[in-house]
Amino acid sequence: TQFISAELMENQLRLLLKSLERKIVSQQLNLVRTHITLGSFQGEAGAMLLFPHGEEQRLTMELVELSGVELQANGSVMSWGKSFEAVAALFVALYILNLLSG
């Protein structure tokens, strides 16, 4: 957890906790995994389809945006600067939380 907290912002940790409470970590993990492997969120069903409830969609979009990636409701993505490291740290955190909550 020292690695995770060193790489993720406090706001992201708060959002991860909310995600864990809402039981949407596995969907978020799949979304971020797709971004890392494909280089974009294209090919994923899109945030609106993955998260039918507005609060879960907003939570996910905010979490991802804190990593330097803007996720559009249609699944498209805009990346700001060097976001790969931040997205990779988010992926690790989601992966661990998904394992622990599984």
Does residue 12 lie in a domain region?
yes
* pLDDT (0 to 100) of residue 43: 42
* pLDDT (0 to 100) of residue 40: 52
pLDDT tens column, 55-97: 888 888 888 888 887 766 665 666 666 677 788 889 999 999 9
Q: How far is CA 55 from CA 12, 21, 37, in A?
A: 16, 13, 26
* pLDDT (0 to 100) of residue 62: 87
Does residue 2 lie in a domain region?
no
Provide DSSP, 46-72: -HHHH--SHHHHHHHHHHHHTTTEEEP
Count of C-beta atoms within a 10 Å radius of residue 82: 9
* pLDDT (0 to 100) of residue 93: 92
- Give residue 54's domain range: 8-101
Q: How many domains does the chain have?
A: 1
Dihedral of alpha carbons 76, 78, 83, 86, sign: negative
Does residue 20 lie in a domain region?
yes
The distance of Cα 3 from the centroid of its chain, to the nearest Å, equals 17
Does residue 27 lie in a domain region?
yes
